[in-house]
Amino acid sequence: MAQLSSLIPLVRERCGGVLDQMAKDQLGRAYQKFCYESRFLARTQEIEQGQDGALNIDSDHVFVSVDFVLDANGYELKSSDDYTVSPNGTVTVINTTPKVRVFYHIAPQFLLPNDFEADNTIVNRWADTIADGAAANLLMMPNTDWTDLAKSDYYKRRFTDGYRDAFRVAVNALDEQRPSQPRVFY
């Protein structure tokens, strides 16, 4: 796991004069938004019939959504018809299948602890994107030496492009595990 504080030099390149603690706070917010918007932190869990359907959520993270659910034969179940999901991440299977595999997303909680361990893949692959998000927020702060709304807008666009790229990567990875649905033509 990686520390977000390792990205402070990248933030300083974009927004000079910022204090380390301010940069670290904004890096945490940018990382949280990146994970939530990109849905990159995907997880898989098998639930057998009769088991509690609570999904495993990493510490300092929250449940975001269920992408899809497969039954024991590998067929995709329909939400509301075959299963329901509570807001806290508990899956209740209505269908009488012996086992289901749930594909779901998590994201970091809003207030991250100081010793928070970020995902290595995200920090290594999208370090510049997360630094762009932090810089966009810092450059919008009023009455500071580094306030620059035009640069903030520029970095905000780059941050958005970065988490959209990660979203495409995450969707492609999930689509490899999702069964193809037969088409019915009338």
151: helix, strand or coil: helix
Chain length of the chain: 186
pTM: 0.88
Mean pLDDT of the residues in the chain:
90
Partners of residue 3 on adjacent β-strands: 117
Q: Give tens-digit pLDDT for 8-55.
A: 999 999 998 899 999 999 999 999 999 999 999 999 999 987 778 899
Phi, psi angle pair for 91, to nearest 5°: -100, 125
149-177 and 127-139 helices, crossing angle to 10° = 150
Q: Give tens-digit pLDDT for 138-182.
A: 999 998 888 899 999 999 999 999 999 999 999 998 888 777 766
As a whole number of angstroms, the distance between CA 72 and CA 46 comes to: 10
Cβ atoms of 61 and 106 within 8 Å: the answer is yes
